[in-house]
Chain A
């Protein structure tokens, strides 16, 4: 499968500051790719390079088979980089109208995207009167205006209330299932865990991991506290490999089989005092990886 975004050895230097340091990144067609990193890690710089706003110092970048910033690549890419920027004296509708003029998009598409982000009712109000969440939604509407194959969103849920965040997550997920490819930058790890297929983690300008979300979080386990333990361990091996951790047993099995595990143990006359799933959240992995990097930097 040809990658939609291929970045290799990407470096961006501002004077003595290395903002992006040899980043490799691949985004495959149809996936929702989460680009994670702490503030100042180099996420936005990388996304600006992908949209042709800034030129890399070195490295190769291919977006939709072309060079970032080429007219054909921009035509097929929708993006919202950093905070949404629009003309404050124009209405949301007029802002989209003029973007449609630049991009050669039919006017009916404006109504579609306004409906999609639930902004149709306030479309004729001035952008300067919008709340932060409405500005963010207009930014996403602008990114979708060209009906793009690749959507690049930089912190799209910034400023949204919980309901707005939920709607935005749903929208992004729908974009992914709709055949579009989404490259999403965020530092909200729960959000990324919920909606992304793969993630890349960047820290201090360097890419420290790029995996499927599940791979990154590791295999899921069930924690079982049972008595007698030896007998329980023998039974649990039917479900997967078992190892002891303190005075509990850890079984490599998905949490949806917890009820079955419980039933088998109870039927065998084993007393089960604790049964719970254990899985690492993406947040745990993120902090492990970025902390490791920071230690290595100090070292």
Chain B
């Protein structure tokens, strides 16, 4: 298992698409978490971009105490979509390149190979989260120093809870991409379907249920995006009014945590079951 894990890490480390996805996630977090708010803050109270929010409040949102909000605020939707693409390209690539047969005719069994792939993906996602956190932390320290703001940090417990919650959200989407890639033995279709689901269908469903079919609220609240948003909402200090898209107080944090773990287990089980049973043609 350790050898297979090292092999999977080598593949991920040397694949430029993995770095491009990480870079996209990082840039999005920094632009929406720091660059745009700082431009709004720097251009003064009269700037319509601030939408009447006091400058002090904008500054507070960029200081170290809110670093977790800026690190994981985009995870339920935007970074989630990138994580889904990661899972789809890593697992689907094995089918499109035909490398699955090469790998499966080595020594480890199919379950072991897939386990190693998921473990390597989990490691990569953890490094993404830590990398984005480090970049956000640097920005917040820089802004605090430049604007004489507070350099108080969240407690270690809150930091760890926030980073772990963010990792779980990304991992759930990553495994969704991987399970779709196994199902379709492809890269493009899982990405298309997954991204449309994350960016469009869940939001549409939530809107339709809330306005037309309130009786189906339980269904909307069971969807992966709702629970991802709820977990992020719980582990950050955001208020509903300033939460980014996808982050909302739909269900309790505990329920969201269990639901996301359940989705991870289901996606993993489906991928392993299918891979073990299917002919590699």
Binding site for B on A (CB under 8 A): 48, 51-55, 69, 71, 74-75, 77, 79, 81-90, 94, 97-99, 101-104, 142, 146
Whole-angstrom CA separation of A79 from B98 in the bound complex: 14
Q: Which 5 A-B pairs have the closest CB atoms?
A: A85-B98, A54-B279, A101-B7, A102-B106, A98-B7
- Name the segment of B11-19, B80-88, B265-273 touching the other chain: B11-19
| Given the contacts A74-B107, A101-B3, A81 and B101 also touching, CB distance less than 8 Å | yes
A52 and B7: CB pair below 8 A? Answer: no
Given contacts A53-B101, A82-B98, A84-B102, 11 further A-B contacts (CB under 8 A): A48-B280, A52-B104, A77-B105, A81-B105, A82-B101, A87-B97, A89-B15, A102-B107, A102-B108, A146-B106, A146-B107
A54 and B16: CB pair below 8 A? Answer: no
Whole-angstrom CA separation of A87 from B108 in the bound complex: 18
Residues in B whose Cβ lies below 8 Å from that of A69:
104, 109
Residue of A nearest to B279 (CB): A54
| Given the contacts A85-B102, A89-B14, A98-B11, A53 and B107 also touching, CB distance less than 8 Å | no
B99 and A85: CB pair below 8 A? Answer: yes
Q: How many Å from the CB of B2 to the closest CB on chain A?
A: 9
B16 and A89: CB pair below 8 A? Answer: yes
B104 and A101: CB pair below 8 A? Answer: no
B6 at the A/B interface (Cβ < 8 Å)? yes
Whole-angstrom CA separation of A69 from B104 in the bound complex: 8
B7 and A74: CB pair below 8 A? Answer: no
Residues in A whose Cβ lies below 8 Å from that of B279:
48, 53-55
B10 at the A/B interface (Cβ < 8 Å)? yes
Residue of A nearest to B103 (CB): A102
Q: Can you report 25 A-B residue pairs in the complex whose CB atoms are below 8 A from each other?
A: A48-B281, A53-B280, A71-B108, A75-B107, A82-B101, A83-B98, A85-B97, A85-B101, A85-B102, A86-B97, A86-B102, A87-B99, A89-B14, A89-B15, A94-B14, A99-B7, A99-B103, A101-B3, A101-B4, A101-B6, A102-B3, A102-B106, A103-B3, A146-B106, A146-B107
Residues in B whose Cβ lies below 8 Å from that of A71:
107-109
Whole-angstrom CA separation of A94 from B8 in the bound complex: 12
Residues in A whose Cβ lies below 8 Å from that of B11:
87, 90, 98
Whole-angstrom CA separation of A200 from B90 in the bound complex: 39
Binding site for A on B (CB under 8 A): 3-4, 6-7, 10-11, 14-16, 93, 97-99, 101-109, 113, 279-281
Residue of A nearest to B104 (CB): A53
A103 and B10: CB pair below 8 A? Answer: no
Residue of B nearest to A53 (CB): B280
A74 and B280: CB pair below 8 A? Answer: no
**Residue from A54, A83, A87, A103 with most neighbouring chain B CB atoms (10 Å):** A87
| Given the contacts A53-B279, A53-B280, A54-B281, A104 and B98 also touching, CB distance less than 8 Å | no
Q: How many Å from the CB of A45 to the closest CB on chain B?
A: 8
A51 and B105: CB pair below 8 A? Answer: yes
A103 and B281: CB pair below 8 A? Answer: no
Residues in B whose Cβ lies below 8 Å from that of A82:
98, 101
A104 and B107: CB pair below 8 A? Answer: yes
Residues in B whose Cβ lies below 8 Å from that of A83:
98
A52 and B107: CB pair below 8 A? Answer: no
Q: How many Å from the CB of A277 to the closest CB on chain B?
A: 43
Whole-angstrom CA separation of A103 from B102 in the bound complex: 11
Residue of A nearest to B93 (CB): A87
Residues in B whose Cβ lies below 8 Å from that of A48:
101, 279-281
Whole-angstrom CA separation of A98 from B108 in the bound complex: 13
Residues in A whose Cβ lies below 8 Å from that of B104:
52-53, 69
Whole-angstrom CA separation of A268 from B281 in the bound complex: 66
Residue of B nearest to A104 (CB): B3
Whole-angstrom CA separation of A152 from B6 in the bound complex: 26
Residues in B whose Cβ lies below 8 Å from that of A85:
97-99, 101-102
B97 and A88: CB pair below 8 A? Answer: yes
Q: How many Å from the CB of B29 to the closest CB on chain A?
A: 26
Residues in A whose Cβ lies below 8 Å from that of B98:
82-83, 85
Residues in A whose Cβ lies below 8 Å from that of B14:
89-90, 94
Q: How many Å from the CB of A142 to the closest CB on chain B?
A: 7
Residues in A whose Cβ lies below 8 Å from that of B106:
74, 99, 102-103, 146
Whole-angstrom CA separation of A172 from B6 in the bound complex: 32
Whole-angstrom CA separation of A98 from B99 in the bound complex: 12
**Residue from B10, B16, B107 with most neighbouring chain A CB atoms (10 Å):** B107
Whole-angstrom CA separation of A81 from B7 in the bound complex: 21
Partner of A79, one of B10, B105, B281: B105
Whole-angstrom CA separation of A87 from B99 in the bound complex: 7
B105 and A53: CB pair below 8 A? Answer: yes
